[in-house]
Chains A and B, each alone.
Chain A
Amino acid sequence: MTTTASTLDRPATPPAFQAVSGSRKIKNMVATVLVVLAFLIALVPLVWLLISVIARGYQALLSSDWWTHSLKGVLPKEFAGGAYHAIIGTLLQTIVCAVIAVPVGVLAAIYLVEYGRGRLARVTTFMVDILSGVPSIVAALFIYALFLSTFGLGQSAFAVSMALVLLMLPVVVRSTEEMLRLVPQELREASYALGVPKWKTIVRIVLPTALSGVVTGVMLAMARVMGETAPVLVLVGYSKSINFNIFDGNMTSLPLLIYSELNNPNPAGQLRVWGAALTLIILIMLFNLVAALVSRFSAIKTK
């Protein structure tokens, strides 16, 4: 702080700075171009894929039968019937999966944030990471080995839901954990100071504060497992008709409809394939959208 006021007041004159040399300028330019290019490259598959799916599948969705009818009694080459059975199947399997995965996932996240100390907590965090990396086909094989092969149960939508639980759990744990950590420590302390037991503090103060974030995470997790195909290939059979019973019989989901109609060489089959793909994307986008809305309109109040 020995600089005199006069030095500070004087504006810097050009010789005070060294001009940026040409090679540095060029490097900077090249980097900028490459970085922008990388972003544009990422948009190519997104736009191309969406356009292909929409262009090839929109006609299927325009028919009113698509949303209200199954493919029961529809011939492979007939332009008739719809994906109602598959939409029902997808939603049922996803919801059953969520009913199991969400309580376990949220409780595990509470454990990690509020109670987790020491060895078990470290192992649990590690295993959540490992579980999030387990390929869907491995989860499906495990459920096959456990339910079908060991317990002797038949193929069912419930088995699919159980495989999806394994895939959904880590996503729910991670997002809930993140949200719980955002809840200000002062809220907990204020509650403890009033003599509220720890479990009641968590249930009545911490969880409600983080609720919107948890809901967002759950919706995103559901959107993620909805499109999983590997478990349905291994664990449930294809059916052309509607089935509401998750414990018995074949049940079609949208991915399974796509997969089985791929073997149908008729134009009607192709239309169903792309129509089902578009329907699946729309469903997933809806879940994403709801998740975004929930988080936008009820963000955690950290202050």
Chain B
Amino acid sequence: MIGAMTSDSGQPGVRTAAVRRPGDTIFRTLTTGAGLAIVIAIALIGLFLLIKAVPSLAADKDNFLISANFVTTDPNNLMFGIRDLLIVTVLTSLVALVIAMPVSLGIALFLTQYAPPRLSRPFAYMVDLLAAVPSIVYGLWGILVLGPALEPFEIWLNSTFGWFPLFATGNIPISGAGTIFTVGVVLAAMLLPIITSVTREVFRQTPVMQIEGALALGATKWEVIRTTVLPFGRSGYIAASMLGLGRALGETVAVLLILHSSPKPANFSLFDGGYTFASKIASAASEFSQPLPTGAYISAGLVLFVLTFVVNAVARSIAGGKAAK
């Protein structure tokens, strides 16, 4: 009997070749089914968006990729394209990343290397609180409080560096500050806790031996960080930033509330108005009734889904599937 036992201890599922119990089979099927359900959910999202988008794409009178129009009032004469949506989405996300990446790096370093150990947790909690604020409140604050405060700065940027395309006069007046720039600043605040929390965990795993080695060689605190913490955590930091980028690309309501719409096409300025993919869809949500015009928005949603899918997949592959949560 003993000889017949096969055991591979050390594995989580230690199995003694015994009878298969019905309870085990049922439970295993249940849990596997739940795992499978998530895979199927993603597949269904892609599939259904595609199914609903194709008829509208076929009926599109404009070029979907390069048209700046988004006219869906007449189902028989759909004219829509994603040029402007793509430009505005990418610009807002890039502004957010450019601001949030260095600041998050600083915060993660502060929390793991500089803050007194006793205070590190409460400090980290304060940064995490930024993630607890819902995006619609960020939107409110952005357009009613932050925007007016940023307005003089944006006017100064525009008048001083207006020769540089990014700071050129946009397709909406700066007054009220419903610009890509304001959206970027608000998105940056929303990204801080996301990028920081992942980066912080990676930095915390820096081998103590390396840190102590650097200290023993007489390195200053900054040199320790530069030679041990940063090289060790670089991939985690980049993966975290990609996750943040994914979040920024898909942010909906904050952008919808802040960004002013513009009748003119975007011209790559930070002082443009317009819509991102997400805010365009949300802005038309109440008019979803006829299948063809709705399909136009669903096709924009499909592009957004593919974009975030790719960004998240890249983030995951950079992190090696371990550091990123």
A170 to B308, alpha carbons, bound, how many Å? 15
Interface contact B243-A38, CB-CB below 8 Å: no
Q: Given A32-B114, A136-B250, are A107 and B34 also a contact pair (CB < 8 Å)? A: yes
| A120 to B109 CA separation, bound complex (whole angstroms) | 37
Given A27-B222, A145-B48, A273-B140: A138 and B250 within 8 A (CB)?
yes
Contact A277 B301 (CB under 8 A): no
B: residues with CB less than 8 A from A are 9, 12-16, 21, 23-24, 26-28, 30-39, 41-42, 44-45, 48-49, 51-52, 102-107, 109-111, 113-115, 123, 126-127, 129-130, 132-138, 140-141, 144-146, 189, 192, 196, 218, 220-223, 225, 243, 246-247, 249-253, 257, 277-278, 281-282, 285-286, 288, 291, 294, 297-298, 301, 304-305, 308-309, 311-313, 315-316, 321, 324-325
For B324, list chain A residues within 8 Å (CB).
129
Whether A188 is near chain B, meaning CB under 8 Å from some CB there, is: yes
Cβ-defined contact, B297 with A141, below 8 A:
yes
Query: What residues of B have a CB within 8 angstroms of the CB of A38 in the complex?
Result: 102-107, 109-110
CB within 8 Å of B: which residues of A?
17-18, 20, 24-25, 27-28, 30-32, 34-39, 41-43, 45-46, 48-49, 52-53, 103-108, 110-116, 120-121, 123-142, 144-146, 148-150, 166, 169-170, 173-174, 185, 188-189, 192, 197-200, 202-203, 223, 226-230, 233-234, 255, 258-259, 262, 273-274, 277, 280-281, 284-285, 288
CB proximity of B241 to chain A, nearest CB, Å: 13
Q: List 12 A-B contacts (CB under 8 A).
A: A24-B223, A28-B221, A28-B222, A53-B140, A125-B321, A127-B38, A133-B250, A140-B285, A142-B45, A166-B41, A170-B38, A199-B21
Asked if A31 meets B313 with Cβ closer than 8 Å, knowing A52-B141, A115-B13, A185-B12, the reply is no
Contact of B126 among A43, A120, A126, A189 (CB under 8 A): A43
> Please, which residue of chain A has its CB at the minimum distance from the CB of B316?
A129
Contacts of A134 in B (CB 8 A): 42, 45, 250, 305, 308
In the assembled complex, which residues on chain B have CB atoms less than 8 Å from the CB atom of A36? 110, 114
A137 touches B282 (CB 8 A): yes
Q: Which of A27, A130, A145 contacts B51 (CB 8 A)?
A: A145
Nearest-CB residue, chain B, relative to A52: B145
The distance in angstroms between the C-alpha atoms of A128 and B36, with both chains bound, is: 11
Q: Which residues of B contact A112 (CB under 8 A)?
A: 35
Contact yes or no, B28 A124, CB < 8 A: no
Q: How far is the CB of A48 from chain B (nearest CB, A)?
A: 7
- Taking a contact as CB atoms under 8 Å apart, the answer to whether B222 and A227 are in contact is no
Majority secondary structure of chain A interface residues (helix, strand, loop or mixed): helix
Assembly CA distance A114 to B15 (angstroms): 12
Contact between B107 and A42, CB atoms less than 8 A apart: yes
Contact yes or no, B52 A138, CB < 8 A? no
Query: CA–CA, A38 to B218, complex, Å?
Result: 26
Q: How far is the CA of A18 from the CA of B217 in the complex (A)?
A: 11
Contact of A114 among B12, B114, B313, B321 (CB under 8 A): B12
Interface pair B105/A115, CB less than 8 Å apart: no
Q: A131-B42, A230-B253 are in contact. Are A138 and B36 (CB under 8 A)?
A: no
> Looking across the interface, which residue of chain A has its beta carbon closest to that of B113?
A35
Question: Closest B-chain residue to A136, C-beta based?
Answer: B252
A228: chain B residues within 8 A (beta carbon): 134-135
Partner of B42, one of A35, A127, A192: A127
